Structure 1
Amino acid sequence: MPGNEVVLIGIGEIGGVLAKGFLRLGFSVHPVTRESDSQQLAARIGQPALVIVAVGENALSGVLDGIPEKWRSGLCLLQNELLPDDWQGVDSPTVISIWFEKKPGIDAKVIIPSPVFGPQSELMRRALAAVNIPVTVLADEEQLLFQLVLKNLYILTSNIAGLRTGGNVGELWQHHQTFARQVAGEIISLQEALTNRIFDREALIAAMVTAFEGDPQHQCMGRSARARLQRALSHAERLKLDLPQLHALQQSSAEQ
């Protein structure tokens, strides 16, 4: 049976918030860094209550490949740009879409409640509640997929549109709404192609605007914006999907 222990793979800012929450619940938290021998740790601590994979999206695939077998049944994933295909081979992970921002030396800033689904959803809710971060426990996989696509829409629209507009998400929606909607439409088309599903576009955009309103000062263009644009276009090329706004942004970005 799972014990009163949590394994945390990746000790960045988000990982630190989660560690604090679980420590407040009385759990032992075992950090795993690049230098750690996870197989040795797995042999020593037994079956943890949860194994949180808190690495960035670019590192997720490699980390999942190296997860000790006895940990695979208790994983929690929280990456950006996450979709079900990203956890193929992992049975029933707990998945949380993180909607709080944590920067060094500053308390976590909540944008909207973070939705979670999976076997340890309630445990994640309790841990984050212990550090005053609200979580919504979802009812089913359909709701989870919508929430993952929503997070992707928010990140990709703000980052990619921000390559042209700069500024923050409040300004993006107030002053560049037509352009933002065009970019968002292409991002939704991409998400539909990646998931082989059709989504309610207006519901997604309305939910994105709610997130914009949760932190209107949030800057559009993060340091990963150009990489996100390139990754989106790589997916589109593979899926034979035409995204003219994104192609135009790539061209104008290359000329700068």
Structure 2
Amino acid sequence: MHQPVVLIGAGEMGSVFAHGLLRAGHPVYPVTRDMDPEQAAAAVPDPALALVTVGEKDLHTVLADLPPAWRDRVGLIQNELLPRDWEAHDLPQPTVSAVWFEKKPGKAVNPIIASPAYGPGADLLVNALDGIGIGARRVDDYDEMLFELVRKNVYILTTNIAGLETGGTTGELWNHHRELAQQVADEVMDIQAWLTGAELDRERLVAGMAEAMLADPEHGNTGRSAPDRLARAIGYADEAGLEVPKLRALAAEHGGS
């Protein structure tokens, strides 16, 4: 039997990782929001990984309350994740993954492209996902993992925000509304550059976004979180002093300001 894994958050995404980890022989101990993390850490003081699978809006609350015993073995898989999120809590390098599969209530897992994983627990996550038929790959270079995190953010934000205007699917957005997608992506990349302090290869980011769009062309562009993502992006732009005229125009028309 392998070392246990703590799962902080037991929603749809957490359930996928729990399945894979159990299949790989790791006992899984869920920690839900009504549980005391310190009591949980006393029961499981030495996990292979403390995998945080809560939504992005709950991430900082969870990290602020993280028991000391788990701080050097954290795994993070949230959307819109960037190094500033774990650096704000003085965490050592966590295991991180840009997750490229979707799990909706009552529906099967929908893999899009292989999910990259980086850090001490990367092999654990890759093996767990591979074991249940979900593509994953290990990334060994920090700069490459930063690229992958930003690539996922550009995809999510562009499809969600442009989708407020177009509706429809990612395939339709790229094939029939490419100018809009490019305008939104350009401004999203401006924001990501400010958030990371790194100017990444923009042509490669857009190509990576397009690859994911066309890998699952029937994937819907928007969800309930789209206006919140747009509002958050404009808030960052305000902090950075960025104009982002297309994002502001979309917010004025569709909400999110």
Both structures adopt the same fold (TM-score exceeding 0.5): yes
| TM-score bracket for the superposition, by shorter chain length | over 0.9
Percent of aligned pairs sharing the same letter: 48
Report matched runs for 1:200-215 at 5 Å. Answer: 200-215=201-216
Residues 120-160 of structure 1 show CA distances to partners (whole Å, capped at 9, x for unaligned) of 10111111111111111112110010000000000000000
Contact 2:14 2:53 in 1 (8 A): yes
* Deviation at residue 254 of structure 1 after TM alignment: 3.9
* Deviation at residue 105 of structure 1 after TM alignment: 2.2
Report whether the alignment pairs 1:253 with 2:254: yes
Residues 72-130 of structure 1 show CA distances to partners (whole Å, capped at 9, x for unaligned) of 00000000001100001110100011100111222211100000100110111111111
Report whether the alignment pairs 1:240 with 2:220: no
Instruction: Find the counterpart in structure 1 of residue 63 from structure 2.
Output: 64
Equivalent residue of 2:207, what SS?
helix
Q: Distance in 1 between matches of 2:104 and 2:24?
A: 23
Q: Which runs of 5+ in 2 are unaligned?
A: none
Instruction: Find the counterpart in structure 1 of residue 187 from structure 2.
Output: 186
Instruction: Find the counterpart in structure 1 of residue 218 from structure 2.
Output: 217
Contact 2:8 2:52 in 1 (8 A): yes
Q: CA RMSD in A?
A: 1.1
Letter in structure 1 aligned against 2:94: P
* Deviation at residue 173 of structure 1 after TM alignment: 0.8
Report matched runs for 1:71-220 at 5 Å. Answer: 71-88=70-87, 89-220=90-221
Letter in structure 2 aligned against 1:11: A
Equivalent residue of 1:149, what SS?
helix
Q: Distance in 2 between matches of 1:254 and 1:67?
A: 35
Q: Which runs of 4+ in 1 moved over 6 A?
A: none
Q: Distance in 2 between matches of 1:102 and 1:202?
A: 29
Q: Which runs of 5+ in 1 are unaligned?
A: none
Q: Distance in 2 between matches of 1:160 and 1:26?
A: 40
Equivalent residue of 2:250, what SS?
helix
Q: Distance in 2 between matches of 1:105 and 1:248?
A: 36
TM-score between the two structures when normalised by the length of structure 1: 0.97
Instruction: Find the counterpart in structure 1 of residue 51 from structure 2.
Output: 52
Letter in structure 1 aligned against 2:179: T
TM-score between the two structures when normalised by the length of structure 2: 0.96
